[in-house]
């Protein structure tokens, strides 16, 4: 059979397939992507720092207030000595001593927070406080190895590391978990009991005796009644 010349002619004249492959779509500029990620992280870090600074302002203001009172008390003692030929009234001296003791108590509270941070580092971020209780080896291992306790709340035989300036052993009030219906809790610290009052899932409020709800069970606040009616608060935010 003779081939059909028209068919062969058409076949031979068909264009050859292109040897070029379609270029893949270009992805975004990797440097631009990295820059965007860095900017987002920087913004997030900045917001986090701003929140932390805002939360710590209240505690810092209390410390500054007490330090000013201490300086004022020292000044009053000095001025009274000059005006009285070296003597001072018992009220002036007591004011100075009371303020010094309160400053020491605030420093002791800060040391408790440092100890809790160490505990968290060794216990996968957990805090030594639970609803109504305190881990009974926490103080002995992280603050004062001489302390004795049976329940983690009441202590005896402590050294100056966990003792109030008046010589009484510190202790903890039973911790309270702040829930949704307890936001902006107004605590009732009417008496000076030499105890750290623990609030879990909490942050210090802007006003004395005020606790705000936190954002997790690893956040906590400590409060203590000081001499002269003042209440101090500190937290791990």
Residue 54: per-residue pLDDT? 47
CA distance 210 to 222: 11
CB-side exposure of 39: number of CA atoms within 13 Å? Answer: 6
Residue 55: per-residue pLDDT? 42
| Per-residue model confidence as pLDDT tens digits over 189-228 | 888 999 999 999 999 988 778 899 998 999 999 999 999 8
| Per-residue model confidence as pLDDT tens digits over 89-130 | 677 788 889 999 999 999 999 999 999 999 999 999 999 999
* Coil, helix or strand at residue 93: helix
Contact call for residues 177 and 161 (beta carbons, < 8 A)? no
Q: What percentage of the chain has pLDDT greater than the value 70?
A: 65
DSSP code of residue 162: G
**Whole-structure pTM value:** 0.69
Task: Give the Å distances, CA to CA, from 107 to 12, 30, 102, 103, 132.
Answer: 96, 50, 9, 6, 25
């Amino acid at each position: 059979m003779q081939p059909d010349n028209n068919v062969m002619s058409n076949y031979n004249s068909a264009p050859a397939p292109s040897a070029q492959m379609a270029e893949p779509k270009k992805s975004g500029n990797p440097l631009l992507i990295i820059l965007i990620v860095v900017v987002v992280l920087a913004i997030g870090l900045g917001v986090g720092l701003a929140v932390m600074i805002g939360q710590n302002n209240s505690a810092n203001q209390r410390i500054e207030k007490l330090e000013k009172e201490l300086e004022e008390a020292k000044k009053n003692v000095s001025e009274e000595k000059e005006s009285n030929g070296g003597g001072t009234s018992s009220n002036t001296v007591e004011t100075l001593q009371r303020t010094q003791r309160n400053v020491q108590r605030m420093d002791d509270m800060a040391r408790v927070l440092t100890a809790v941070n160490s505990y968290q580092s060794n216990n996968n971020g957990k805090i030594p406080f639970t609803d109504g209780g305190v881990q009974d080896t926490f103080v002995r291992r992280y603050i004062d190895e001489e302390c004795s306790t049976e329940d983690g709340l009441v202590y005896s035989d402590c050294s100056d590391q966990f003792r109030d300036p008046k010589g009484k052993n510190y202790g903890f009030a039973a911790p309270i978990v702040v829930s949704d219906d307890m936001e902006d809790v107004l605590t009732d610290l009417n008496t000076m009991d030499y105890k750290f009052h623990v609030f879990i899932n909490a942050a210090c409020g802007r006003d004395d005796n005020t606790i705000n709800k936190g954002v997790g069970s690893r956040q906590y606040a400590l409060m203590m009644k000081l001499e002269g009616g003042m209440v101090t608060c500190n937290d791990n935010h």
